[in-house]
Structure 1
Amino acid sequence: MTNWYYHDPSQGRVGPIDGDAVREHFRAGRIQRDTLVWREGLREWQPLQRLENELGLGVTPPPLPLDIAAAPAPAATPALAAAPSSHGRADFTAALDAAEAPRSQASAPAPSAPEATASNAASSNAAPANTAASNAAPSAAGSSPAASAPPQPQRSVSPADYAPAHVRRQSAPPPKRGLSGCAIALIVVAVLAIPVIGILAAIALPAYQDYTHRAKLAGALAASNDYKLQVAQYYAAHQKCPNNASDGFRPAADYASALIASVQFGRLKDGGECAIQLELRGFNRAQLDGRKIWLAFDPASAQWTCSSDVERASLLPQACRN
């Protein structure tokens, strides 16, 4: 089945519909021959009159046979002039009387052939003055509209032309197109979902960023386990805390990585514990970049503690929040 579309000035594009529906709209007067239509396979919209043969709208009946076409049309009978109301019947009768008037005038009797011959013979035997008068008389008679005018064609009047307005057939108005219940529900859901999504994003995005930064920081601290092992071994061998200049250690910048700017070794001033200082970078967050984490080693208990100058403790691993 071929899907058809047509353009309506008040509704825009209407369709898809099949060919039978297009023919029905055309017969009902909803679309005209200049209405733009389109179907699958056409490159562009075209007037309906270009496709009327394809839709069967331009088919006309074959001509009548000569013997039937030459037969005179039957005279209208008073029974055909009946209308649904008295007012329509009176209008139709008046129209028939008006149509019959020219015919009665055109059918006035004309002089017969024998009378014309006798008149011509009498005029030939008369005097010249009578001859002129007799010649003028036929000329005047010949110029009469009743004798020379051709008969008027009979006007065909249909009872429907004079029927009351309330009984005339009117084309049905085009159906109104509107939003369906599902479309309205989707619009309401979309309008309500936008603020909800915004609220969820405002809550979830910072929490996700904090989780990502804690994971990165935990990975950087895990890489410092090797440094803690070196400090403990050095203290056990020399009974003092190492620094970056001690044997087996390197300058602070040599320990740099994607998340660590430098690693310094030494002793804390207050408690005297051996310490490792980690300077952070690469987090793209002012609360972390440039901040420091201290890992302190107590030789008496052989335990490590963690502290930091990061103001927001929730960004640190649990072990470094005290």
Structure 2
Amino acid sequence: MSEWFHAQGNRQQGPLPAEQLIELFRSNEITLDTLVWRDGLPQWQPLRSVVDELGLIVPAMDAPATVPPAPPAAPQPPILPPEAPYSATASTALPPPRKGLSGCALTAIIGGVALVVVVPILAILAAIALPAYNDYTLKAKVSAAITALQPVKDQVQRFADNEGRCPGANDAGFPAAGDFAAQGLSAVHIGRFNNGHCGIEATLSVPGKTIDGDLLWQEYDRDSGRWECSGESDNKYLPTQCHG
């Protein structure tokens, strides 16, 4: 359906559909002499010249004799295009009205701007957030593994305090080396370290990650009654008390 423009004073109005143009005529807001234009017309035309195209039904031109003639319409100020004034006649050529951007075009522009601005920001945030999240999850796995060793630490300390020596693989009552697979550890060994401390050596099991296979050490000093924690992994994955 074509969109129409009409002249009002020295300004153009529109675009608007044909039905709305017809309604303006029926409500006497425009007349048969009002200049109109649509895309495809070579120049502005009086409404009377396109009534057939619009399907507009107009009254007969010869009014009854008893009806006094209507007073002449007040002259309208000319519509002035940028180049020169014109007289409001059927043959006057007006420049085609400028059309604004359609809703689809505006949506496309806004969407393009959003892509240009938002996508790089999301990429930057992802580049920052994903490594940080990965470090956080690995640190959480190491902390969970250390927590799982707590019962064994208690056993080692009691044994060392009561027996006056470090427990070994042949001492009864301690978990087997493979009993901690569900806690992120592939092996757990108890015994005596070279520095004389008793303790635990555990191997992390985090398949596909940088810390997979790293060792954790929990050492008990019988003289001071204190435990020390250390490990092969980067400090960012170890709890603070295990930093070397």
- CA–CA distance in structure 2, aligned partners of residues 288 and 227 of structure 1: 22
Contact 1:259 1:280 in 2 (8 A): yes
Contact 1:266 1:275 in 2 (8 A): yes
- For residue 241 of structure 2, what is the aligned residue in structure 1? 319
Deviation at 1:195, TM superposition (A): 2.7
**2:179 match: secondary structure:** helix
- CA–CA distance in structure 2, aligned partners of residues 245 and 18 of structure 1: 99
More strand by share: 2
Q: Within 5 A, what are the aligned runs for 1:1-322?
A: 6=2, 17=17, 19-21=19-21, 28=36, 30=38, 57=55, 59=57, 168-170=91-93, 173-178=96-101, 187-188=112-113, 190-268=115-193, 270-282=194-206, 284-285=208-209, 287-310=210-233, 312-322=234-244
- For residue 29 of structure 2, what is the aligned residue in structure 1? none
Deviations 1:232-260 (A, max 9, x none): 11122222222343211132012221411
| TM-score calculated relative to the size of structure 1 | 0.48
Structure (1 or 2) with the larger CA radius of gyration:
1
- The change in CA–CA distance for 1:170 and 1:22 in structure 2 (over 3 A counts) is farther
Deviations 1:164-193 (A, max 9, x none): xx9713466253233899986775464234
Contact 1:258 1:282 in 2 (8 A): no
What RMSD, in angstroms, separates the aligned Cα atoms of the two structures? 4.3
Deviation at 1:22, TM superposition (A): 7.4
- The change in CA–CA distance for 1:17 and 1:301 in structure 2 (over 3 A counts) is farther
More helix by share: 1
- The change in CA–CA distance for 1:280 and 1:60 in structure 2 (over 3 A counts) is same
Query: Which stretch shifts more, 244-253 or 190-199?
Result: 190-199
- The change in CA–CA distance for 1:18 and 1:235 in structure 2 (over 3 A counts) is farther
Matched length: 191
- The change in CA–CA distance for 1:181 and 1:254 in structure 2 (over 3 A counts) is closer
Letter paired with 2:19: G
Contact 1:23 1:57 in 2 (8 A): no
**1:253 match: secondary structure:** coil
| TM-score calculated relative to the size of structure 2 | 0.61
**1:214 match: secondary structure:** helix
**1:251 match: secondary structure:** coil
Contact 1:30 1:171 in 2 (8 A): no
- Gapped regions of structure 1 (runs ≥ 5): 9-14, 33-51, 65-165
- Gapped regions of structure 2 (runs ≥ 5): 5-14, 25-34, 41-50, 63-88
